[in-house]
Amino acid sequence: MRILFNNLLALCVLVCLAACDRDDRRQGDIYLPEGDAARGEVHFVSLGCVSCHKVAGAELPEPAEAGPVLVLLGSRTGPKPGMSYGRLVTSIVNPSHRLSARYSRDKVSQEGESLMTFYNDVLTVTQLTDLVAFLQAHYKKADRSGYKYPSYTYQTDDDSENADPP
C-alpha cells in the first residue's frame, strides 16, 4: 500500500512540474509564430491604438484624437505573473473577455462589451504576433525573490522529431 501511495505521489509531482515549464505562446494545440516588436510598434501606431492606450517605457506619438480613457499597458506584472503571451493575445482578439478593474466600467465598456475596436477582421496573424511581441517587451518581471522565471525555447520543424509531446 505504501508503494502505491509513493508512486501516486511521485506521479502528481511530475505532472505539477511539467505544467510549470510550458510555453505561454502555446495555448492548447495552437502554436503562434514569433512576432517582431519593432514592427509591432509600427502597427500599434498605424492602427490608432495610441488613441486609447499608453505603453509604459515606449515613446509613441500623441494621438490625433484621444479616446474616452487612456489605458496604460506595460509596466510591472506585480506579485503574480501578469500579462502572459496568451492573455495579451486574448486581450487583442477578445477585448471584452476581461475588462480592467483599474478603470470605471462606463469609461471602458458599454453594456458589458469593451469599447475597444474589434480588429479581428483587420489584423493579420503576423500583425497580431508583432503587436504582442511589442507589448510583451514592455511588461517587466516583478522582483520575486526565490521565484525562477521559466525560460522559453521555441521548436522548429527540424526539432519536432526529438521534441517531447505536448
CA distance 129 to 154: 14
Phi, psi of 110 (to 5 degrees): -140, 120
Q: Which residue has the cell 502555446?
A: 26
Residue 126: pLDDT over 60: yes
> Residue 37: what pLDDT?
94
Q: How does pLDDT run across 41-59, given as a tens digit for each residue? A: 999 999 999 999 999 889 9
Residue 128: HSE in the Cβ half-sphere, 13 Å Cα cutoff: 21
> Residue 46: what pLDDT?
94
CA distance 23 to 84: 10
- How far, rounded to the nearest angstrom, does the alpha carbon of residue 103 sit from its chain's CA centroid? 20
Can you tell me the mean pLDDT for 74-94?
73
Q: Place 6 in a pLDDT band, splitting at 50, 70 and 90.
A: very low
Q: How does pLDDT run across 26-42, given as a tens digit for each residue? A: 555 567 888 999 999 99
CA distance 37 to 65: 25
Domains assigned to the chain: 24-143 (1.10.760)
> Residue 145: what pLDDT?
58
- Whether residue 14 contacts residue 6, with contact meaning beta carbons closer than 8 Å, is answered with no
